[in-house]
Structure 1
Amino acid sequence: MKKEGAFMYKRMKFLEEGRTKEKLTPYMNPPKNYINSEEKSVFLGYPQTIPHPIALETYKNYLEYNENHVGVFSNVFTQLDQTRKMEKELIEMLGDLYGDDTVDGYVTSGGTEGNIMGTWIGKELLGKDCCVIKSYLTHQSIDKACCLCSLSNVITISYTDEYVMDLAELESIIKSQINLGVKSFIIVATMGYTMTGSKDNIEKIDMLIQHYEMENSIKFYFHIDAAIGGLVFPFLHENEGIFKYKSVKSLTVDPHKMGYVPFSAGIFICRKSLQESIAIPIKYAKTVYDKTLISSRNGAAAATCWVMFQYLGKEGFKRELNKLIILKEYLVKKLLSKNLIEVISDQGTNMVCIHFNCIHDGILSDQLEKKYILDGFILKYRGQDYYCYKIYIMPHVTKESLDYFIEDIVRISQVNRKDN
């Protein structure tokens, strides 16, 4: 027995003899982790949810066959079996949604893999002396990608009051790096920052890149992290089509977030043939090159994404999203009416970033953070540091479960006022 923290912990050993199914049954059935009516708790802190019933049924049906996808099937025009054909068509569907029907890509484990892919391809095309520019709000997977790719010239720039990349600072950094002799840049923008839900101005960054490419013969690789927003923003407004911007080279999107499918299911998409830059021959398959990061992949994920996209269509995605936004607006209105919060960032999606102005320092108790799966962080707001929380309204969230949450915040605010 070893003491770990406040309790005694016995490390697991590999058994000599296996256990019976009866003894393992409790472990074969997971606890409810998204909403618990008995404890009046609900999962609010991250963009994940119980998969859609159609997605669950599809995933279970394909798991039995344990399909192993190796290689990339986009822009392949030979005969493919069903799941590989579905993955090919999945990339085509997203290419159509984002404005380039010739894109390449594949189903990944998620946004981190997609961000590593974008950075890796950028480095192979531009060389290791390129400068990587990202914002303070950029997902940590870009730092991981730069480390793995041995990219040392990485610059983090500020965010504006709207929680987007500061474009004036971006241009200033590009100019200063050019003056230092840098000839190539990887720019990482985000559609749906995890902490704020905001999206960078892709159009203006594209214009800036095109200007410096023409005027200074500088090379750029522009990657978009759309892990969260890639299946949100296209259905909120008139779809702008990310790939209509010429300088955009690649993006990552996560159907296991706002596509309502099981983990793990991300998708990496890039301009046609860019994956050739990282292609590695497979010794045991004469005509196949590996143009992915993780090689073997789960065919069930591709099939499930295909089915969900076909089931929902654009109008279905809009309907699902609008339901969530209505619930988000209900929550925000209730909390504001009771003077419990300050809204830090609300981009009109199913996500909101808030500060609890009814609580000392804005910090919830450990018990409440655990109950609602909420993690706090510090952001600049009106020139000062605020302790904030992100709340994601996902399909498992109900009006009743939000009322539980509101009741808890009211209760703790009353206790806080008495103490003060």
Structure 2
Amino acid sequence: MADLEDGSTETDAFPDVPLSGAELARVLDERLAEVPGWHSPDDPVRLGFAMTAPHALALDAFGRFAERNPNNVGVHTRFGDGVRGTRRLEREAVLALAGLLHADAADGYLTGGANEGTLAGLRAGRNALRAAGAGRVVVLASALTHHSVAKAAEILDLELRPCPAGPSWLLEAEAVDAALDALAEETGPGARTGVVVVSTAGYYNTGLVDPVDAISAVLARRAAAGGNLSVFHHVDAAHGGMILPFTAPEVPFDFRNPYVHSVVLDPHKSGLMPYSCGVFLCRKGLLGHGAVPAPMSGFVDETISGSRSGAMAAALWSLVFGLAADGYREVFRACLGVRDRLADAIRAADPDAVVLPSPGNTVVVAGFSHGEGRLPAELAERYRLVG
């Protein structure tokens, strides 16, 4: 498996003879030793990376169901679906999370992460806007939006129009309004432009939350006034959606806003789940805009990935109902305490630093007064920090 000069890698011959049990164990032990642990003083602290040690409840549930290898293909939040086994567990977990985000009725399913969930949201939005008569569909998002938005736009062949981030580092409602004005002016007589607006509830590197309610109010006002634009609003809550309901429930980033159509969560970031687990949620009726008949299996598939792990659904269910709100509040209160102690330590070490703990989120942004505001390289590497 030698690396070539052009960066490619030669292939290996597929083995004819199996390794012995002892040799298998030796190789796996060596590779395991190369993976950072959680409690050894010799392993790096994942201070700058949005992940958590999986909870024992989730690992136990996953292990119990994985041997039977259940396939949760399809969506199980429709009436009459999801009545048995891991599909019932997925249905109950997804609908509980939708309730946490103040949805009266919702559809949704487990994804491989927020990248897939954002792709699902933009796909549903594109198709819904086209069904409403839009000949052109544009994605409108902050320049600081996670790269998964640009990736989804590229996959779906949609134009991405970034809004520059202002002093707040947020996608402000005024910027959205101005961008929509520009798109309306570009739309010719008798034509209609569809706009998928993407808000963020917890930017990856700042933890900050867009004013989703103010953006939704702009969309509602423009819809009531008519015009040549149709809009769909997707919220990327990968980094805040599993935290804010327990730490800052007053932050209205979710389905409390009539002009929020879909939301993606990432339980493998802050929900104590193992990789890969995201959750896509949308209002009832919108999943039909991504429906593809699967006649060989006898159902309609509205997901991106098709086959999905039922064992992962069991793991998520075990945390939603095994920890519940009380358990998550306790976890995140401790995380916010660590965040605040870190902020205090930075201020003590560098009194002139600019330190911005994210309201309700487990992130500290710091600009240092020396070295052009950056940490020494060895600290950045040790704690997985990205400037």
Q: Calculate the TM-score normalised by the size of structure 1.
A: 0.83
Separation in 1 of the partners of 2:373 and 2:332? 33
User: For residues 79 and 262 of structure 1, do their structure 2 counterparts lie closer, same or farther at Cα, with a shift above 3 Å needed?
Assistant: closer
Q: Deviations over 1:36-64 (max 9, x none)?
A: 64436311121112101111111111111
Instruction: Quote the residue 2:290 is aligned against.
Output: 278
The Cα shift of 1:24 comes to: 1.6
**Matched residues in 2 for 1:40 and 1:89: separation?**
37
Say if 2:254 is the partner of 1:259: no
Q: 2:294 corresponds to which letter in structure 1?
A: I
Structure 2 equivalent of residue 84 of structure 1: 87
Alpha carbons of 1:15 and 1:78: their partners in 2 closer, same or farther (altered >3 Å)?
A: closer
**Partner Cα separation in structure 2 for residue 192 and residue 115 of structure 1:** 14
Q: Deviations over 1:150-196 (max 9, x none)?
A: 112x2101223222113222211111110111532110000000011
Q: CA RMSD in A?
A: 2.2
The residue number in structure 1 matching 2:154 is 147
Give the match for residue 66 of structure 2: 63
Query: Take 1:348 and 1:191, find their aligned partners in 2: how far apart are those partners?
Result: 11
User: What are the superposed Cα offsets for residues 7-48 of structure 1, whole Å, 9 maximum, x if unpaired?
Assistant: 9x9864422222112112144342351446443631112111
Work out whether 1:160 is the aligned partner of 2:166: yes
| CA–CA distance in structure 2, aligned partners of residues 84 and 194 of structure 1 | 31
**Inter-partner Cα distance in structure 2 for 1:265 and 1:105:** 13
Between the aligned partners of 1:372 and 1:238, the Cα distance in structure 2 is 30
Decide whether aligned partners of structure 1 residues 246 and 297 sit closer, same or farther in structure 2, where only a CA change above 3 A counts: same
Supply the AA of the counterpart residue of 1:22. Answer: A
* Preserved contact between residue 137 and residue 195 of structure 1 (Cα < 8 Å): no
- Equivalences for 1:115-194 in 2 at 5 Å? 115-127=118-130, 129-152=136-159, 154-181=160-187, 182-194=192-204
Residues 226, 359 of structure 1: alpha-carbon distance in 2 compared, 3 angstrom cutoff = same
**Counterparts of residues 12-411 of structure 1 (less than 5 Å):** 12-29=12-29, 30-31=32-33, 32-35=35-38, 37-39=40-42, 41-78=44-81, 80-127=83-130, 129-152=136-159, 154-181=160-187, 182-217=192-227, 218-239=229-250, 240=252, 242-286=254-298, 288-339=299-350, 341-344=353-356, 346-359=358-371, 362-365=374-377, 367-376=378-387
CA distance in 1, matches of 2:282, 2:43: 44
Q: 1:391 — aligned with what? A: none
SS of alignment partner, residue 284 of structure 1: coil
Q: Please tell me the residue identity of whatever aligns with 2:155.
A: L
Whole-angstrom CA distance in 2 between matches of 1:174 and 1:375: 33
Letter of the 1:25 counterpart:
A
Q: Would the aligned equivalents of 1:92 and 1:101 in 2 still touch at CA under 8 Å?
A: no
Shift of 1:348: 4.0
- Unaligned ranges ≥5, structure 2: none
Q: 1:79 to 1:264 in 2, by over 3 A?
A: closer
Q: 1:36 touches 1:42 (CA, 8 Å); kept in 2?
A: no
Letter in 2 for 1:120: R
Identity %: 26
Deviations 1:296-335 (A, max 9, x none): 0001111111110111111211110000111111111012
Structure 2 counterpart of 1:285, one-letter code: S
User: How far off is 1:363 after superposition?
Assistant: 4.4
Question: 1:192-239: CA deviations, max 9, x gaps?
Answer: 000110011011011100111011243210000011111111111235
| Structure 1: tracts of 5 or more residues without a match | 377-420
Determine helix, strand or coil for the equivalent of 2:261.
Answer: strand
Shift of residue 78, structure 1, vs aligned partner: 4.9
CA contact (8 A) 2:76 2:82 kept: no
- What TM-score do the two structures reach when normalised by structure 2? 0.89
- In the aligned structure 1, how far is the partner of 2:193 from the partner of 2:3? 55
CA contact (8 A) 1:134 1:157 kept: yes
SS state at 1:104 partner:
strand
The answer as to whether partners of 1:103 and 1:272 remain within 8 angstroms in 2 is yes
Change (3 A) 1:13 1:38: farther
Q: Would the aligned equivalents of 2:236 and 2:263 in 1 still touch at CA under 8 Å? A: yes
User: Residue 255 of structure 2: SS of its match in structure 1?
Assistant: helix
Q: Secondary structure at the match of 2:96?
A: helix
As a proportion of its length, which structure holds more strand?
1
Letter of the aligned partner of 1:105 in structure 2? G
Letter of the 1:131 partner, please give it: V
- Seen in structure 2, the aligned counterparts of structure 1 residues 28 and 66 have a Cα distance that, compared at 3 Å, is farther
Structure 1 pair 18/222, CA: closer, same or farther in 2 (3 Å)? Answer: same
CA contact (8 A) 2:213 2:253 kept: no
Amino acid across the alignment from 2:219:
I
